[in-house]
Amino acid sequence: MTDPDILRYALTLEHLEDKFYREGLANFTAADFAAAGFDSTFYTNLQQISKDETTHVAFLTSALEAANEPVVAECTYVFGITSPSAFVATASILEGVGVSAYLGAAAQIMSKGYLTAAGSILTIEARHSSYLRAALAKLPFPQPFDAPLSPDEVFTLASAFVVSCPASNPALPLKPFPALALATAGPGRAHLYAAFASVTGPVFATLTPGADALSWKVLVPQGVNGQSYVVLTKCNETVTDDTVVAGPALVEVTN
């Protein structure tokens, strides 16, 4: 991916987050969040998070325009949120994915200026994530390193919310993987592995066939904690777009 591709990729994610918060704040009031058990400062802080995401959209849009590069517009999304608690739970997930997205793309950014800007956004996404996790009575920082995700892995997770995008949007050089529910019956199953994302590289775990031909069991490796991601892969040595069979799936691990 080129630097402009990465900026458009980041803008695609920020559009999703921006719309998510604007829609949630339009649908639920401060009283709704208070009734759901969140404290008196929570709604105000949500409004600030929403403003941050809107600012990120404006910044990335300006960066692309300054480089005379095409800009991606907001898509149409379905979030399926029916309660304040569900909104906060999904917000926490989106912020965690945002952290992993920027972290995973960092190594591909060539411009030092763009890299610094991406790092600045990443730290804010991490603050959002910790705040929302604490509000949900989860560990705000469950492990010493966040897990990076590849652009294709992030695109797979984000695609679950996307209904359609404007035809004028430039195509991103990304492809979603099949859902992790996909499994292969028969002898081929023995050659699939679970790979958990980590900053030092994938952590592989053995898959055990479940009670039926379409399910697996896996023991989460030690050191994997908090919002984590797992893919099924054909290889137990490395994870690439060519070896991933399905995923990533998001799992919340509490040790």
Domain contains 179: no
Which of residues 131, 164, 197 is at a domain's end? 164
Give 208's strand partners: 217
Percent pLDDT > 70 in the chain is 95
Same domain, 196 and 148: no
CATH assignment at residue 118: 1.20.1260.10
Checking if the pLDDT of 183 tops 60, the result is no
Q: In terms of pLDDT, which residue wins out, 45 or 185? A: 45
Q: Is the pLDDT of residue 249 over 70?
A: yes
How large is the average pLDDT for residues 94-117?
Answer: 97
> Quick count: other Cβ atoms within 10 Å of Cβ 214?
13
Residue numbers of the domain that contains 208? 187-253
Mean pLDDT of 152-170: 96
Predicted confidence at residue 26, as pLDDT, reads 97
CA–CA separation, 135 and 70 (whole Å): 38
pLDDT of residue 191 exceeding 80: no
What is d(CA 159, CA 58) in angstroms, rounded to the nearest whole number?
22
Q: What does the pLDDT read at residue 186? A: 41
Cα distance between residue 13 and residue 157, in whole Å: 10
Does 173 map to a domain? no
Strands 193-196, 162-164: pairing kind: unpaired
Q: Are residues 201 and 101 in the same domain?
A: no
Does 245 lie in the same domain as 207? yes
232 is a domain residue:
yes
Instruction: Tell me if residue 146 falls in helix, strand or coil.
Output: coil
100 inside domain: yes
Asked if 96 and 215 sit in the same domain, the reply is: no
Q: Is residue 181 part of a domain?
A: no
Say how many domains are in the chain.
Answer: 2
The answer to whether the beta carbons of residues 95 and 157 sit under 8 Å apart is no
The residue assigned the tokens 């592995």 is: 193
- The answer on 93 and 215 residing in a single domain is no
Regarding whether 199 and 82 lie in a shared domain, the answer is: no
Closest-CA residue to 233 (of 218, 212, 211): 218
- With 50 as the cut, is the pLDDT of residue 18 above it? yes
Q: Is residue 178 part of a domain?
A: no
Considering the domain architecture, whether residues 20 and 72 belong to the same structural domain is answered as yes
Mean per-residue pLDDT for 170-178? 88
Are residues 143 and 74 part of one domain? Answer: yes
Could you tell me the pLDDT band of residue 241, with boundaries at 50, 70 and 90? Answer: confident
d(CA 241, CA 255): 30
Q: What is the pLDDT of residues 214-237, one digit of tens each?
A: 778 888 998 898 999 999 998 888
Report yes or no on 176 lying in a domain. Answer: no
Percentage of residues in the chain having pLDDT higher than 90: 75
Residue 185 pLDDT more than 50?
no
Give the full edge-to-edge strand order of the sheet including 226-233: 203-205, 193-196, 226-233, 244-253
Please report which confidence band the pLDDT of residue 213 belongs to, taking 50, 70 and 90 as the band edges: low
The pLDDT of residue 179 is above 80: no
The predicted structure's pLDDT at residue 188: 45
pLDDT range class, residue 180, cuts 50, 70, 90:
low
Domain of 209, CATH number, reads 2.60.40
pLDDT of amino acid 182: 37
Q: Judge whether 182 lies within some domain.
A: no
Give 35-94 pLDDT, tens digit per residue: 999 999 999 999 999 999 999 999 999 999 999 999 999 999 999 999 999 999 999 999
Q: Kindly report the three-state secondary structure assignment for every residue of 191-233.
A: HCEEEECCCCCCEEECEEECCCCCCEEECCCCCCCEEEEEEEE
Q: What is the pTM of this model?
A: 0.89
Over residues 167-192, the mean pLDDT reads: 70
Mean pLDDT of the chain: 92
Assess whether 114 and 226 both reside in one domain: no
Q: What span, in angstroms and rounded, lies between the C-alpha atoms of 242 and 66? A: 35
Q: Are residues 199 and 142 in the same domain?
A: no
Q: What is the DSSP letter of 136?
A: T
Residues 194 and 158 in one domain: no
